[in-house]
Amino acid sequence: MDINIQAIEQHMLENKQTDTLVFGMGCFWSPEANFGQLPGVIQTKVGFAGGSKSNPTYRQMGDHTETVGITFDPDTISLELLLRKFWSDHNPNRPAYKERQYISLLLYRNAEQKIMMETIKRQLEGDRDEPIYTEISPLHDFTEAEPHHQKYYLKRFKRATELLLRHFSDETAFHSSTIAARLNGFVREYGTLASIKQEISQWNIPLEEKNRLQQLLDDLKW
């Protein structure tokens, strides 16, 4: 099926105002899948942030933390909802291990994000009647993890991944794809193919492209 998913998704982003959020909540594979399945999340990447080491890698992470960076449409999904999901979907008070690699971490890009993070954290501390030990710090750098860490769960299905890659210019474009983010969530049992197809039916793209995308999902071999 000849369909340029990359071009379709780029067209959808034209004239859209987006925001980004970077966070750590343990091993970055599962949170990428968990957040990637949410309508309104446009792009997910896993990487290293929060430390001072130059050019961190998975084997040479230094004082960085495994983090997920997401790009989202605030008109569809709010920063507040994402932050509440962040705190509801992991234990921010579990004992630290592997130094800073797996700590609970929020990295703000601006004053608005910092205020929102601190406000919700105080509210949750009151609701739970206990302190929350999530670290809230400014974002200085985000270094993308190696390619085999991106869309980790989806890539375990080699036949489906090979078919999808035909519809992108390269692997980097595939890693930035909304469809890839949704399918990475689906194979981790976050969301369903039916919910992805329903979301596509609401996308602001021609009906023919909607039908071809939905048919592509039906044709994937798992």
Catalytic (active site) residue 27: yes
Q: Which of 79, 170, 171 is nearest to 116 (CA)?
A: 79
Of 12, 13, 27, 163, the catalytic one is 27
Phi-psi category of residue 104: left, alpha or beta, with phi > 0 → left and psi -120 to 50 → alpha: beta
Q: What are phi and psi of 104, to 5 degrees?
A: -80, 120
> By the 8 A CB rule, do 5 and 179 touch?
yes
Q: How far is Cα 110 from Cα 132, in angstroms, rounded to an integer?
A: 21
* Class of residue 54 by CB neighbours under 10 A (exposed 0-12, middle 13-18, buried 19+): exposed
> Which residues are tagged catalytic?
27
